[in-house]
């Protein structure tokens, strides 16, 4: 079942996420499969260009991964950054490779 933006919004509000956290997570849903954006780019996308660390914090508590594909957000230097789901960065790499976003 595909998670819609409206359903995600409903779930995130019910769970008590802040407006900022919701903006981050909903913007993440717009990252196409096979592509990545940086934490900094995502911060700019939501209108908070200097809040890239806060973006990372919001992504780290994503309760709807991988439907909200926080694994598609990487560091500005091209490294993967963290992934808080079980399997951590190894799983993030595997998912991005499967989507064709990165090579070995």
Residue spans of the domains in the chain: they are 5-99
Pairing status of strand 73-74 against strand 37-38 = parallel
70 among known catalytic residues: yes
What confidence tens digit (pLDDT) does each residue in 6-29 have? 999 999 999 999 999 999 999 999
Architecture of domain 5-99: Orthogonal Bundle (1.10)
What confidence tens digit (pLDDT) does each residue in 67-97 have? 999 999 999 999 999 998 889 999 999 999 9
DSSP state of 38: E
- Active-site residue, selected from the candidate residues 12, 59, 65, 70: 70
Query: How far apart are alpha carbons 46 and 63 in whole angstroms?
Result: 20
pTM of the model: 0.94
Torsion of CA 38, 85, 97, 68, to 10 degrees: -60
Residue 103 contacts residue 97 (beta carbons within 8 Å): yes
What confidence tens digit (pLDDT) does each residue in 33-62 have? 999 999 999 999 999 999 999 999 999 999
């Amino acid at each position: 079942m595909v998670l819609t933006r409206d359903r995600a919004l409903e779930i995130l509000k019910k769970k008590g996420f802040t407006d900022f956290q919701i903006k981050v997570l909903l913007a993440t849903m717009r990252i196409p499969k096979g592509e990545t954006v940086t934490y900094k780019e995502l911060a700019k996308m939501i209108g908070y260009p200097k809040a890239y660390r806060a973006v990372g914090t919001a992504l780290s508590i994503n309760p709807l991964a991988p439907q909200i594909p926080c694994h598609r957000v990487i560091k500005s230097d091209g490294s993967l950054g963290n992934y808080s789901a079980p399997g951590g960065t190894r799983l993030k790499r595997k998912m991005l490779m499967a989507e064709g976003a990165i090579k070995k």
